[in-house]
Amino acid sequence: MLNIKVLYEILNPEHTVRYLYILLLTALIPLLDCYLIIMTASYIGKYLFLAVLIAFSLGGFYMSRHMIIKNLRIIRSNTDNHYYSEYYYSMFPGTVFVSIFLIMPGIIGTVVALIISIPSLRYRAGSSLSNFLRIEWKEIHEFINVVE
Protein backbone atom coordinates (compact mmCIF):
# COMPACT_ATOMS: atom_id res chain seq x y z
CA MET A 1 0.00 0.00 0.00
CA LEU A 2 1.50 3.31 -1.08
CA ASN A 3 1.18 6.15 1.35
CA ILE A 4 1.28 9.43 -0.55
CA LYS A 5 1.81 11.44 2.64
CA VAL A 6 5.00 9.55 3.51
CA LEU A 7 6.24 9.74 -0.07
CA TYR A 8 5.65 13.49 -0.11
CA GLU A 9 7.54 13.93 3.17
CA ILE A 10 10.48 11.87 1.92
CA LEU A 11 10.74 13.97 -1.22
CA ASN A 12 10.51 17.20 0.78
CA PRO A 13 14.04 18.63 1.22
CA GLU A 14 13.37 20.05 4.71
CA HIS A 15 12.20 16.65 5.93
CA THR A 16 15.19 14.83 4.46
CA VAL A 17 17.62 17.31 6.00
CA ARG A 18 16.32 16.24 9.43
CA TYR A 19 17.79 12.80 8.87
CA LEU A 20 21.12 14.35 7.96
CA TYR A 21 21.19 16.30 11.23
CA ILE A 22 20.45 13.13 13.18
CA LEU A 23 23.31 11.37 11.36
CA LEU A 24 25.61 14.31 12.09
CA LEU A 25 24.85 14.17 15.81
CA THR A 26 25.32 10.42 15.99
CA ALA A 27 28.60 10.68 14.04
CA LEU A 28 30.13 12.91 16.71
CA ILE A 29 30.11 10.10 19.29
CA PRO A 30 32.42 7.74 17.31
CA LEU A 31 34.79 10.64 16.64
CA LEU A 32 35.06 11.30 20.37
CA ASP A 33 35.54 7.56 20.92
CA CYS A 34 38.38 7.48 18.37
CA TYR A 35 40.08 10.33 20.19
CA LEU A 36 39.67 8.49 23.49
CA ILE A 37 41.05 5.29 21.95
CA ILE A 38 44.13 7.10 20.66
CA MET A 39 44.73 8.74 24.03
CA THR A 40 44.29 5.65 26.22
CA ALA A 41 45.55 2.82 23.98
CA SER A 42 49.16 3.79 24.59
CA TYR A 43 48.70 3.46 28.36
CA ILE A 44 47.08 0.02 28.58
CA GLY A 45 48.11 -1.57 25.30
CA LYS A 46 46.30 -1.56 22.01
CA TYR A 47 45.33 -5.25 21.96
CA LEU A 48 43.89 -5.19 25.46
CA PHE A 49 41.96 -2.03 24.62
CA LEU A 50 40.60 -3.60 21.41
CA ALA A 51 39.50 -6.66 23.40
CA VAL A 52 37.63 -4.40 25.82
CA LEU A 53 35.95 -2.60 22.90
CA ILE A 54 34.88 -5.90 21.34
CA ALA A 55 33.49 -7.06 24.69
CA PHE A 56 31.52 -3.80 25.03
CA SER A 57 30.13 -4.20 21.50
CA LEU A 58 29.07 -7.82 22.00
CA GLY A 59 27.54 -7.04 25.37
CA GLY A 60 25.74 -4.08 23.84
CA PHE A 61 24.45 -6.25 21.00
CA TYR A 62 22.93 -8.80 23.37
CA MET A 63 21.51 -6.11 25.64
CA SER A 64 19.93 -4.24 22.71
CA ARG A 65 18.59 -7.49 21.25
CA HIS A 66 16.93 -8.29 24.58
CA MET A 67 15.41 -4.80 24.92
CA ILE A 68 14.04 -4.74 21.35
CA ILE A 69 12.55 -8.24 21.54
CA LYS A 70 10.95 -7.45 24.91
CA ASN A 71 9.48 -4.19 23.61
CA LEU A 72 8.13 -5.81 20.43
CA ARG A 73 6.53 -8.67 22.41
CA ILE A 74 4.73 -6.17 24.64
CA ILE A 75 3.54 -4.20 21.60
CA ARG A 76 2.39 -7.43 19.93
CA SER A 77 0.46 -8.62 23.00
CA ASN A 78 -1.15 -5.19 23.42
CA THR A 79 -2.13 -5.20 19.74
CA ASP A 80 -3.62 -8.69 20.04
CA ASN A 81 -5.70 -7.48 23.00
CA HIS A 82 -6.70 -4.29 21.09
CA TYR A 83 -5.04 -2.16 23.75
CA TYR A 84 -3.24 1.01 22.66
CA SER A 85 -0.47 2.32 24.88
CA GLU A 86 1.60 5.14 23.44
CA TYR A 87 4.24 4.46 26.10
CA TYR A 88 5.46 1.22 24.50
CA TYR A 89 5.20 2.57 20.97
CA SER A 90 7.32 5.56 21.97
CA MET A 91 9.77 3.28 23.77
CA PHE A 92 10.53 1.48 20.51
CA PRO A 93 12.39 4.33 18.72
CA GLY A 94 14.17 5.09 21.99
CA THR A 95 15.26 1.47 22.22
CA VAL A 96 16.54 1.49 18.64
CA PHE A 97 18.38 4.76 19.35
CA VAL A 98 20.01 3.22 22.43
CA SER A 99 20.86 0.08 20.44
CA ILE A 100 22.79 2.09 17.87
CA PHE A 101 25.05 3.46 20.59
CA LEU A 102 25.35 0.11 22.38
CA ILE A 103 26.49 -1.76 19.28
CA MET A 104 29.02 0.86 18.12
CA PRO A 105 32.41 0.09 19.62
CA GLY A 106 33.52 2.74 22.02
CA ILE A 107 33.42 3.72 25.64
CA ILE A 108 31.70 7.10 25.35
CA GLY A 109 28.90 5.68 23.18
CA THR A 110 28.39 2.80 25.58
CA VAL A 111 28.19 5.11 28.59
CA VAL A 112 25.73 7.41 26.78
CA ALA A 113 23.63 4.37 25.78
CA LEU A 114 23.60 2.95 29.30
CA ILE A 115 22.43 6.27 30.67
CA ILE A 116 19.71 6.63 28.03
CA SER A 117 18.63 2.99 28.51
CA ILE A 118 16.98 3.97 31.80
CA PRO A 119 13.27 3.50 30.95
CA SER A 120 12.15 7.08 31.65
CA LEU A 121 15.00 8.55 29.58
CA ARG A 122 14.46 5.97 26.84
CA TYR A 123 10.77 6.93 26.69
CA ARG A 124 11.67 10.63 26.45
CA ALA A 125 14.23 9.94 23.72
CA GLY A 126 11.75 7.81 21.78
CA SER A 127 8.96 10.33 22.23
CA SER A 128 11.13 13.20 21.04
CA LEU A 129 12.32 11.13 18.06
CA SER A 130 8.71 10.29 17.20
CA ASN A 131 7.72 13.94 17.41
CA PHE A 132 10.77 14.99 15.42
CA LEU A 133 10.01 12.49 12.65
CA ARG A 134 6.23 13.07 12.92
CA ILE A 135 5.35 9.44 13.56
CA GLU A 136 1.70 8.91 14.55
CA TRP A 137 1.61 5.72 16.60
CA LYS A 138 -2.19 5.64 16.90
CA GLU A 139 -2.51 5.36 13.11
CA ILE A 140 0.10 2.60 13.02
CA HIS A 141 -1.71 0.72 15.80
CA GLU A 142 -5.04 0.97 13.97
CA PHE A 143 -3.41 -0.17 10.72
CA ILE A 144 -1.92 -3.23 12.44
CA ASN A 145 -5.34 -4.08 13.93
CA VAL A 146 -6.99 -3.78 10.51
CA VAL A 147 -4.36 -5.92 8.78
CA GLU A 148 -4.59 -8.68 11.37
What pLDDT is attached to residue 1?
Answer: 46
- Whether 60 shows a pLDDT value over 60: the answer reads yes
Range of the domain at 136: 4-147
Counting residues of the chain whose pLDDT is more than 90, the rounded percentage is: 16
What's the pLDDT score for residue 3? 60
Asked if pLDDT for residue 54 goes beyond 80, the answer is yes
**How many residues are there in the chain?**
148
Give residue 133's pLDDT: 78
- pLDDT tens digits for range 77-136: 988 888 888 899 889 889 998 998 888 877 888 888 889 999 999 999 999 888 887 788
Q: How many domains does the chain have?
A: 1
Average pLDDT of the chain? 82
